[in-house]
Structure 1
Amino acid sequence: MKEFLFIFRRDFKAKEIQPAEYELEKNVKHWKDWLDLLTEKGLLAQKHKSWDAEGSVMKPGESVTNGPYAEIKHSIGGMVVIKAENYDQAGEIAKGCPIFELGGSVEIRMGL
């Protein structure tokens, strides 16, 4: 099996689209259940890691700028490394990700 990085992105800044507290609580439970299922199936290679929504960007010849990427609206909210045979299987695994409940996305990258 190969390792795949799942990067979870969502708009954490726009106040008008942020979930209500009860929606967040429900979503956190779905995350726990989904990650537990991946662990039980032996598909979780590394534990989930959350990241702040701020960060900084460095570009050649320029100073450091605040915020992860000013030109994109979705920030990285977390990541996991899973085990799968190929991109198709990784995509099937990603379909169960709770980030979709909050309008987010999953970027999938295969380890080399």
Structure 2
Amino acid sequence: MNTYVFFIRAKKEAVTSVTDKEIKTRNIRWMNWTSALAKEGKLAEGGNHLTLDGMVVEGQGGINAGPYMQGDVCLLGYILVHAVSYDEAIKLTKGCPVLEGKGTSIEVREISSL
């Protein structure tokens, strides 16, 4: 069994325009989805939500305010799962409420054993 990280991304505007009611509804759906993964023995670690602010430290000593963004898409959080292959890991993203949002995505990456 391998461990994979799901990097959850969305357009910053889509995140900042969400109402408190929508946040509560999304959090319930998120908890239901992660609970189902846990019952299947596929949840390695629940992960965390990230704030929309941050700093980027570069190798040559440069420091930039704000998180790294690709266009207007930012990293919102991550979750770790157990799967035997990329195919299975991708199947585990099905039902994730994050993917119901506009401009959202999940990047699936295997954790190296090195």
Normalising TM by the smaller chain, what interval? 0.7 to 0.9
Equivalent positions of 1:41-80 (< 5 A) are 41-80=40-79
> C-alpha distance in 2, partners of 1:65/1:49?
23
Aligned to 1:86: 85
Aligned to 1:111: 111
Alpha-carbon distance between aligned partners in 2 of 1:91 and 1:15, rounded to the nearest angstrom: 23
- 2:100, 2:69 → 1: CA distance? 24
Q: How many angstroms does 1:9 deviate by?
A: 0.9
Kept in 2: contact 1:56–1:65 (CA 8 A)? yes
Structure richer in strand, relative to its length: 2
Alpha-carbon distance, 1:17 to partner: 7.3
The residue number in structure 2 matching 1:26 is 25
8 Å CA contact 1:56, 1:68 repeated in 2? yes
User: How far off is 1:92 after superposition?
Assistant: 0.7
CA shift at 1:26, angstroms? 1.8
SS at match of 1:35: helix
Task: Name stretches of at least 5 consecutive residues in structure 2 with no aligned partner.
Answer: none
Contact 1:27–1:101 (Cα < 8 Å) also in 2: no
Counterpart amino acid of residue 67 in structure 1: G
Distance (whole Å) between structure 2 residues aligned to residue 96 and residue 42 of structure 1:
16
Contact 2:47/2:79 (<8 A) preserved: yes
The secondary structure found in structure 2 opposite 1:60 is coil
- 8 Å contact from structure 2 (residues 69, 75) kept in 1: no
Identity of aligned residues (%): 25
Task: State the shift of 1:72 in Å.
Answer: 2.9
Provide the aligned C-alpha RMSD in A.
Answer: 2.0
Displacement of 1:65: 0.2
Deviations 1:57-94 (A, max 9, x none): 12232520011125432221111110001001100111
